[in-house]
Amino acid sequence: MIIGSFIYLGFFHAQNHDFFYKDISLTGGTSVTINDGNVNSENLKNAISGKLDDVNIRQVSDLATQKQIAVIVETRSEQQQTKKVLEDYLGYSLNDVNSSFEFTGSSLSSSFYNQLLIALLVAFVLMALVIFIQFKTFVPSMAVILSAFADILMPLVVVDMLGIKISSAGIVAFLMLIGYSVDTDILLTNKVLRREGKSLNRKIIESFKTGITMTLTAIASVVAALLIAGPYSSVLYQIFLIMTFGLLFDIFNTWLTNVSIIKWYVLHKKKKNEN
């Protein structure tokens, strides 16, 4: 699956010149909130898509009544051009009372994006350093690091397949996955390498019982938050969605891939010591 993910991202990068779709928080552009519950988002998008660059429209609903209270228009176009196109469609002027505008320059967004990537890289390197210090052996440490890397790589592929535009919140979600993904791997490695008096398979089974309970509990919490808060906040929706994908893949990466590597390492070491 890791090799397949790399192949997919290679084709994706060749077509899109990047590894994922970015929203305006990472590319720069204009975000407009129109406080009008009568605006049809589909009709609006069809009307302005040819006049503005890379348009994305979201509805904002009242938490209690579920009725639409506003629409959010995001585009890479400049603020003045966006305002004129929207006013032509709506038939009235947009002001501070019925709307709000936010514009982010491309240079600022690019700088912010680079800082987020650096933070993600530094977090991953520090995590790897702590793992090596804790276990002091190459193969088990690399197994944990490989699993954590796969827990980021595979959700990224799924997000790309779904055509989701990643925002700064999405980068933060990937950053959070580093912490969520290594806990079960560390649990597994600790129990297998450091606990004496039990067979290898028994130690793996005991680790699985504890680890899968932790992961399923986390998934249940994240999915509940996704269903409750997701419809009302695009930021929370993206964070919880990416974390859900990551935690689901963590089950596969920990209890198939990592277990296989750790088991091979222990048996190989035992056989080597006997000889």
SS3 157: helix
CA proximity to 138, closest of 271, 2, 270, 262: 262
Task: Give me the pLDDT at residue 108, please.
Answer: 66
Per-residue pLDDT tens over the stretch 17-56 = 888 888 888 888 888 888 888 888 888 888 998 898 888 8
CA proximity to 113, closest of 191, 227, 22: 22
Per-residue pLDDT tens over the stretch 57-70 = 888 877 677 788 88
Q: How far apart are CA 87 and CA 44, in angstroms?
A: 11
Q: What is the mean pLDDT of residues 180-191?
A: 87
Give yes or no for a contact between 3 and 149, defined as CB atoms under 8 angstroms apart.
no
**How many C-beta neighbours within 10 Å does residue 152 have?**
19
Give yes or no for a contact between 34 and 99, defined as CB atoms under 8 angstroms apart.
yes
Ordered domains of the chain (ranges, CATH): 29-104 (3.30.70.330), 107-274 (1.20.1640.10)
Per-residue pLDDT tens over the stretch 97-127 = 888 888 877 776 678 788 888 888 888 888 8
Residue 15 pLDDT > 80: yes
Q: What is the mean pLDDT of residues 219-242?
A: 88
Q: At a CB cut-off of 8 Å and minimum separation 6, what does 10 contact?
A: none
Task: Give me the pLDDT at residue 275, please.
Answer: 63
Q: Is the dihedral of CA 183, 184, 187, 189 positive or negative?
A: negative
Per-residue pLDDT tens over the stretch 134-143 = 888 888 888 8
Q: What is the mean pLDDT of residues 236-240?
A: 92
Percent share of the chain, pLDDT over 90: 25
Per-residue pLDDT tens over the stretch 207-221 = 999 999 999 999 999
Residue 244 pLDDT > 90: yes
Per-residue pLDDT tens over the stretch 3-12 = 899 999 999 9
Q: pTM of the prediction?
A: 0.84
Cα dist. 116→149, 181, 198, 240 in Å? 17, 19, 44, 18
Task: Give me the pLDDT at residue 66, please.
Answer: 75
